[in-house]
Chain A
Amino acid sequence: MWNGPLEKIGEYRYMIPKSYRGINGNLKMRVPALIYASEKMLPSIKKDNAPEQAANVATMPGIVGKAFAMPDIHWGYGFPIGGVAAFDAEEGVISPGGVGFDINCGVRLVRTNLHIGDLSRETIKQLVDELFKNVPSGVGSKARIRLSMQEINSVLDNGARWAIEQGYGWDEDLEYLEENGCMEVADSTLVSEKAKMRGKEQVGSLGAGNHFLEIQRVAEIYDEEAAKVYGLEKDQITVMIHTGSRGLGHQVCSDYLRILEQATKKYNIWLPDRQLACAPVKSKEGERYFKAMAAAANFAWTNRQLIVHWVRQSFEHVLREDAEDLGMHIVYDVCHNIAKIEEHVVDGKKMKLYVHRKGATRAFGPNRSQIPMKYRHIGQPVLIPGDMGTASFVLRARNEADEAFASSCHGAGRVMSRNEAKRRWNGREIAKILEKRGIYVHPASWTVMAEESPDAYKDVGDVVDVMHGAGLTTKVAKMVPLGVVKG
């Protein structure tokens, strides 16, 4: 139980003051830390050491504004999951711990012009089984396409564009991906052979753990205007993909943690926790990590692009209709584990910053040039995946999100250990319960099924309600699962 100071400074806003000296009494916070939460969530937030981790982040060189934590905050390696921190592009640092192992883990939402009345339960079952067949999932899921080293390098340098050029997707898809599916700063030469070998084996696969592929129904519309712009309406069928950069990203993170651990010593940076290992953004080590991370991010966009292609093919196969005729357009694609260079106003001054989001989503409000033209007048869609059996949400980014470097939450956040969940539930029983709720599940493994049972997470509804109440991102639509492919 964490016992540090949390001062309520506004609706849904709790602050750890700069004067807090930490559990060991030796912290020197450069900025305060701010946690978005409801009263009800505080006990579970204090249960693990996540607030202390937010305070730790606030001690890092070059941090500006505040160290933020979203309501789905929970303990992570170094930085808390649900954390947002921005560092000065001249004086600041960059840290792999602020991004996470699964670089560009993210969410993609595809809409259709199908409605719930168009699909029988039997058809949904067929669709899920077809998706399971076409999209590799589960522990050790292997790639179904073989890429040469040259092709992997092209994926790393070009991102989703590579996939479109190879015929995996539609030209319009790129416009609806964050960064248009490619961070141009990426440099494949800074990614190790090992990472590339892992990537080769896994490109276009879902993976395991909390990753999923889901057929959903739009259950509720909260904001008619925004829903219309995003192409969403009640009872419509959507498909959501939640996955990241697979072993390639994990390897990039491991490789650079080793390098940055050394750099921390070399540049004489004091850190309260070894896992915050970082390097100045202008240092060779820092620059290299950033470019390699961007390459891993590009791999993740390609991964989701390949999956979208197979999702469209699966629908075509089962429903015997073209994906174009089914209106299977991408609503949007967000990443929730990433560091990016962005401009933000801090204390009235425009600054170039390295924004780290680890378990947090970029939320650009209206009029930002980086979001698709069609959405520009209302702001970017923010996609919040639920967990197996629970609802997912589409939110709308408001300019109010700028107070947190244009960021929002990313999901629910775990409250129970995976082993605890496994002991408490049996995977097959959970599948039965879900089936009764009208959700058909095809898991790669019944164990994962138990580990990822919805009760192991905080309620995603509570999390988005805090963001809505705080005004950073507001609710547009809620989707509930009809069929799930679990990794």
Chain B
Amino acid sequence: MFKIIEHTADIGIEAYGKTLEEAFENAAKGMFSLMIGDGKIESKVMKELEVPFDMDEEQLLVDWLSELLYIHDVEHLVFGEFDVKIGKEKLTGRAYGEEYDVKKHGYGMEIKAVTYHMLEVKKDKKGYVVRCLFDI
């Protein structure tokens, strides 16, 4: 589950999960929902990725989403499903999706980058809440 949050010129997401992993997966879903229109993303290809966990959880969130943006830019893929595992030293993730097709997926917005603004990873009674804003 995630929700879209807004700020004057920009937009972000707040995502939830019972575990930190699930919250990260939902954050990624939220980000791609902004990048496309109403179309559905099918799981036709799978990308495995690794992100070093060398700073804090907030930075890890930024790096995870940035890595997905990078793959999107370079390989023209969009993703709809994710599997995240967070270890002591790194995050390993799988992203399932397909090539971006305007006709099928529709237009969303171009996300330039993941920012540190309003960036937060927090634990509450129900699990984890993660939040970040994008530069668009």
Contacts and interface: CB of A to CB of B under 8 A. Distances in A.
Indicate whether A and B interact: yes
Contacts of B70: 194, 197-198, 251
Contacts of A445: 107
A34 interface: no
A140 B106 CA distance: 12
B114 interface: yes
Given A77-B135, A417-B11, A418-B136, A250 B112 contact: yes
A274 B116 contact: yes
A102 interface: yes
A250 B113 contact: yes
Contacts of A138: 102, 107
Nearest to A445: B107
A254 B113 contact: yes
A369 B66 CA distance: 41
Interface stretch (B2-10, B19-27, B85-93): B2-10
Interface stretch (A175-183, A200-208, A216-224, A328-336): A200-208
A202 B110 CA distance: 13
B20 to A, nearest CB: 20
Given A77-B116, A102-B112, A417-B11, A201 B107 contact: no
Most buried by B among A200, A258, A275: A258
Given A140-B100, A447-B37, A75 B7 contact: yes
A209 B116 contact: no
B109 A101 contact: no
Interface string A399-443: 000000000000000111111100000000000000000000000
Interface in B1-46: 4, 6-11, 35, 37
A77 B63 CA distance: 17
A140 B66 contact: no
B67 to A, nearest CB: 9
A415 B8 CA distance: 7
Interface residues of A, number: 47
Contacts, number: 110
B6 to A, nearest CB: 5
Contact of A208 (B4, B59, B109, B135): B109
B134 to A, nearest CB: 10
A209 to B, nearest CB: 6
A197 B74 contact: yes
A418 B107 contact: no
Interface string A168-212: 000000000000000000000000001001101110000111000
B117 interface: yes
A414 B11 CA distance: 13
A161 interface: no
Nearest to A198: B73
A48 B8 contact: yes
B127 interface: no
Contacts of B113: 101, 250-251, 253-254
B74 A414 contact: no
Given A102-B112, A139-B35, A275-B116, A74 B8 contact: yes
Given A77-B135, A202-B73, A447-B37, A254 B114 contact: yes
B110 A418 contact: no
A294 interface: no
Interface in A243-284: 247, 250-251, 253-254, 257-258, 261-262, 274-275, 277
Nearest to A418: B11
23 contacts: A48-B8, A74-B8, A75-B8, A76-B9, A140-B110, A194-B70, A198-B70, A198-B74, A201-B76, A208-B109, A209-B112, A251-B113, A254-B62, A258-B59, A261-B59, A275-B116, A417-B8, A417-B10, A418-B9, A418-B109, A419-B6, A445-B107, A448-B107
Given A198-B74, A417-B9, 6 more contacts: A75-B7, A139-B109, A209-B109, A274-B119, A414-B9, A447-B108
**Would you list the 7 A-B pairs with minimal beta carbon distance, nearest first?**
A445-B107, A208-B110, A414-B9, A250-B112, A247-B73, A417-B6, A250-B113
